[in-house]
């Protein structure tokens, strides 16, 4: 009787281990990138809804009548559970570094500005095809090429936070 009980326990444990292992293998191969891509698309889609909303340096967190670059990224990422600090230079310490050649939708891209000199002073969201969604100056929330002469010469780094 004891032999049968131990035998069946081993079969059940081996079967459960196989099911758990195969499930983990399937999830490891697809789910993380698929969910990250979906989250990036949702964040970008939300950001697009604010096209043309005016730029205001120091705009408060959580408002949508005006944004500065980092309040914009903080707001749209926050709506999808990604908590970012309020300041662009601090946002540049989150997640992990990504080479410009390996940018994916939803990556944060960071730049210097005339106001900040050699320090990070601007952030945008990479949307693919060499473009970012961000807010800066008169047009407010807009698309810009990260390879335009200005942004290319002020590029510092990129971070993946999703």
- Local structure of 39: helix, strand or coil: helix
5 belongs to a structural domain: no
Domain count of the chain? Answer: 1
Averaged over 30-57, what is the pLDDT?
Answer: 87
130 belongs to a structural domain: yes
112 belongs to a structural domain: yes
17 belongs to a structural domain: no
Q: Encoding tokens for residue 43?
A: 């964040």
152 belongs to a structural domain: yes
CATH number at residue 65: 3.90.1720.10
Is pTM beyond 0.85 here? Answer: no
Averaged over 83-109, what is the pLDDT?
Answer: 98
In the predicted model, what is the mean pLDDT of the chain? 86
Active site residues: 69, 122, 134
8 belongs to a structural domain: no
Domain range spanning residue 100? 41-160
Task: Identify the H or E element spanning 70.
Answer: helix 69-78
58 vs 100: CA distance, rounded Å: 28
Residue whose pair of structure tokens reads 């047009």 in the numeric block: 139
Q: Which residues are registered as beta bridge partners of 124?
A: 109
Residue 4 or residue 162, greater confidence = 162
148 belongs to a structural domain: yes
Query: CB burial class (10 A; 0-12, 13-18, 19+) of residue 132?
Result: buried
* 101-140 residue pLDDT tens: 999 999 999 999 988 999 999 999 999 999 999 999 999 9
7 belongs to a structural domain: no
């Amino acid at each position: 009787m004891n032999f049968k009980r131990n035998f069946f326990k081993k079969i059940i444990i081996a079967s459960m281990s196989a099911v758990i292992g195969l499930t983990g293998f399937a999830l490891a191969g697809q789910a993380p990138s698929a969910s990250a891509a979906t989250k990036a698309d949702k964040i970008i889609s939300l950001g697009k809804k604010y096209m043309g909303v005016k730029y205001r340096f120091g705009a408060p967190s959580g408002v949508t009548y005006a944004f500065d670059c980092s309040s914009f990224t903080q707001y749209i990422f926050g709506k999808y559970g990604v908590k970012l600090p309020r300041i662009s230079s601090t946002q540049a310490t989150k997640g992990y570094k990504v080479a410009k050649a390996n940018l994916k939708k939803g990556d944060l891209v960071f730049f210097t500005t005339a106001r900040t000199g050699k320090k990070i002073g601007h952030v945008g969201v990479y949307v693919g095809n060499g473009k970012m969604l961000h807010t800066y100056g008169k047009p407010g929330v807009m698309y810009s090429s990260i390879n335009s002469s200005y942004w290319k010469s002020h590029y510092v780094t990129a971070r993946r936070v999703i």
